[in-house]
A = this chain, B = another copy of it.
Amino acid sequence: MMRTQHRIVICCILAALAVLCHGAPLRRGPPVGPYRYGRKQASINASEKQLIDRCKVYFRNATLDHFSWATPPEHRTTFQQRYFVCDEDWKTQADGSKGPMFFYVGNEADVTLYLNASGLIWENAPAFGALIVFAEHRYYGVSKPFKKTLKEHMQFLTSEQAMADYAELITELKHDLGAKSSAIIGFGGSYGGMLATWMRLKYPHILDGAIAGSAPIWTYLGEDPPYDAGSFAKIVTRDASEEGGSAPACSSNVRQVWKAMFELGESKKGRAEITEAMRVCPDLLESTDDVAALADWASSAWDYMAMGNFPYPSTYILNGGGEMPAYPVRVACESLAKEKMSTDELFSGFADSLGIFYNYTKDVECYDFKAGANPETEEDGNFWDYQWCTEQFQPFSRDGKHDMYWDQPFSMKDSIERCQGQWGVTPRPMWATIQWGGRRIETASNIVFSNGLYDPWHGGGVLKNLSDSLVAVIIPEGAHHIDLMFSNKLDPPSVKQARAFELDNIRKWIDEVAERNKQQLPSSSISGTS
């Protein structure tokens, strides 16, 4: 049997994706990034420990509800928001002003995850003399507005509230640290990159520029041209094909697996055959619903391997709990490389491929796709589902033709009903586009959008320059915001170029702020009288 530890990680990764741990028949597609399965206490290895030791942790009284003045539940008008300040590189500049602030716009997990992973910030702060701040997103990590009653008071979990927290925090920091004239550069990956983008749209007076790594801001309903809800699955499929450097037969073999799985899954005998060939733990496949759950669980592995399809071994997608090999999709595809595989060969090869993600310890004896989640680690993952069920209503679909899955059209009706049942909320499908502008963001400025073409999220990313200061950089060999990570000797040139491009833009933004500081801001000019 799998060890408990592994089951935790696996199920948490799945939590927001398919809610399999709770048995809900959700197949809404992938969430933003791997991060939403945060940890109460991030696991920190030796080098990471050094990073967090270079920071001071603070908690501030953040406004609970920026958008109304209602009497709040339990009469709490504020909550304790955590943030880290790391100032050892912060230098006074030649003109006497304080250096810039590199501000990580926290997303859907414990902020120490980003603190430990954001090499781009750490490696470049010294050259910029920059202050580093990592801010935690409300409801995640330890920045939870309520304790036992948290799930009764989910209404304050929105992106707008989180951005207002950051706007207040930056304003306070500039004041408290005497950094009134410092340039503020936002960094974020995945949903954090979306938040950094939206902050530059909505709070350009707070954030002077934003590095938005793998930020799928164009993944909502109501966009014009519309978002291709099938793009995520198509890109995973591309990763598992010759174009993605994988065995040419891989994606068509994967497609065959589902077909065989659903056909055999109809009968008890067939389910026993699947159990045997795929090394599923005994007595789990009792019904067609179980088979559907197995398929969801298995397909998720490919989603995550594609997001983590880095050119070097990485613990990132496994949240530091284990390591996937370089180009995990290619490695997974090695077990499905043969042109004409029998059904047994397919299941056996498929089980091997899943092991890259689900058996990274190499000691899993059978797959328990129903394993329950650790309540603590489950929470953050679930909270992204709340966000998805309210304003982050991103459609996902698969069709089994343009991708290697089976037909799973996006059903707005089913999704809404599922959200009503799960959280008692009704999504407002058009809100994200009305609020954040969809494709119409051309009036914004000072954002670098980076996207790796192995990352399935790039289908909703900004891939072309929209103006001189809304610029896109493509990393053909990159997966999910690889550019934000620490440098690695296996980094392809495109990643190095992307980082250099980002640093150039940051320098330009800082220069703009210095120029602006020289100019007097306009005041009211009232004619005095007596």
Give residues in A with beta carbon < 8 Å to B: 63, 65-71, 77, 154-156, 158, 160-161, 164, 167-168, 171, 180, 202-206, 218, 222, 224-225, 227-228, 231, 234-235, 237-238, 241, 243, 251, 389-391, 401-403, 424-426, 428, 430-431, 434-435, 437-445, 453, 458-464, 466, 516, 521-530
Contacts and interface: CB of A to CB of B under 8 A. Distances in A.
Given A68-B158, A458-B524, A461-B524, 4 more contacts: A224-B521, A234-B527, A402-B530, A464-B525
B155 A68 contact: yes
B438 A205 contact: yes
Contacts of A424: 71
A509 to B, nearest CB: 12
A87 to B, nearest CB: 23
A452 to B, nearest CB: 13
B234 A529 contact: yes
Contact of A443 (B425, B435, B445, B524): B445
Nearest to A431: B66
A155 B71 CA distance: 9
B68 A238 contact: no
B67 A160 contact: yes
Nearest to A235: B526
B71 A522 contact: no
Contact of A521 (B69, B389, B440): B440
A437 B205 contact: yes
A529 B68 contact: no
A386 to B, nearest CB: 9
A521 B439 contact: yes
A525 to B, nearest CB: 6
Nearest to A427: B69
A438 B204 CA distance: 11
A460 B523 CA distance: 9
A401 B67 CA distance: 39
Nearest to A206: B434
Contact of A238 (B227, B434, B462, B527): B527
Contacts of A439: 521-523
Nearest to A171: B434
Nearest to A161: B67
Contact of A402 (B67, B401, B431, B529): B529
A522 B449 CA distance: 14
A522 B67 contact: no
A528 B231 CA distance: 9
**The 8 nearest A-B residue pairs measured at CB:** A70-B155, A205-B440, A205-B437, A67-B67, A225-B523, A68-B155, A204-B443, A69-B425
B228 A428 contact: no
B251 A164 contact: no
Contacts of A164: 434-435
Nearest to A464: B522
A161 B70 CA distance: 14
B155 A521 contact: no
Contacts of A527: 234-235, 238, 243, 453
